[in-house]
Homo-oligomer: A and B are copies of this chain.
Amino acid sequence: MTETIEAPGSVTAMERGSGVALWRQIADRIRQGIAEGTFEEGGRLPPEIALAERFGVNRHTVRGAIAALVQEGVLRAEQGRGTFVQHAPRISYALGRYTRFSANLQGQVRETKGRLLASAVVPADSRTAGALGLDAGASVLRLETVSEADGHPVSRATSWFDAIRFAGMEEAYAKTGSITAAFARCGIDDYMRRSTVVSARHADATVLADLSLSAGAIVLVTVAINEDPEGRAIQFSETLFAADRVELVVAEGL
């Protein structure tokens, strides 16, 4: 028989009438409990009635939360037996001076891939121009990409490049599925992270679709600048990570 996992003491009340449905708040807390180890990987969740009591809601509300997590693949419910934790642990993504997607995930996943969603040459807005050291309105190449690990989408990035210096970047990325490889084809053999700023917000509908998330999901946002060895900015990017699947590790010194 499987051991039932006992949860921690504090029964924090849910927020009612807050614009976020109770079942979603409970789903968040169960997911969080799994990430923190309160609910063990592969272990059995407490029965629905016990969860309902702990969260101070009706059993049917808990069922809504469980249904959502089953849908996501986080839980697996078996009639008569119980509900079990299926979730894979979070991926750790290192933020440092040397930051590359696939190198970053080595050892954590079997295979990584980048997919080009869209590309366009557009005039730079002031933020982009400032980041890349160009005049406002200069032509920049914008790439919309999704990066996947073992077939599951992990992040969605929008990147901007000097359209003149990096003409053909789009094609190179589409072929290789890697920014590093695409840079290499443009004569950039090495590059470094100049700055990274982290924030978080709810994913909008487009991002939900691209990252296969359910509505209300949270994304970690990094806004970063990469520079070449001479210190010239070559890429400005905003990357959205599914907060349920990824944690960002700040690499100190380096």
Chain A residues close to B by CB (< 8 Å): 10, 12-15, 18-21, 23-25, 27-29, 31-32, 35, 37, 68, 90, 92, 95-97, 127, 193-202, 204-206, 208, 214-216, 218-220, 243, 246-250, 252-254
Contact = CB atoms under 8 A, between A and B. Distances in A.
A28 B243 contact: no
Contact of A97 (B13, B194, B252): B252
A113 to B, nearest CB: 24
A198 B91 CA distance: 12
Contacts of A243: 199-201
A202 B25 contact: yes
Contacts of A254: 253
A226 to B, nearest CB: 11
A198 to B, nearest CB: 4
Given A14-B205, A205-B14, A253-B253, A199 B248 contact: yes
Contact of A198 (B29, B193, B218, B248): B248
Contact of A216 (B15, B193, B198, B199): B15
A247 to B, nearest CB: 4
A127 B199 contact: no
B218 A200 contact: yes
Contact of A247 (B29, B199, B202, B215): B199
Given A19-B21, A68-B19, A95-B250, A218 B201 contact: yes
A252 B214 contact: no
A81 to B, nearest CB: 27
Nearest to A219: B200
A146 to B, nearest CB: 17
A92 to B, nearest CB: 7
B193 A252 contact: yes
A14 B216 CA distance: 11
A252 B201 contact: no
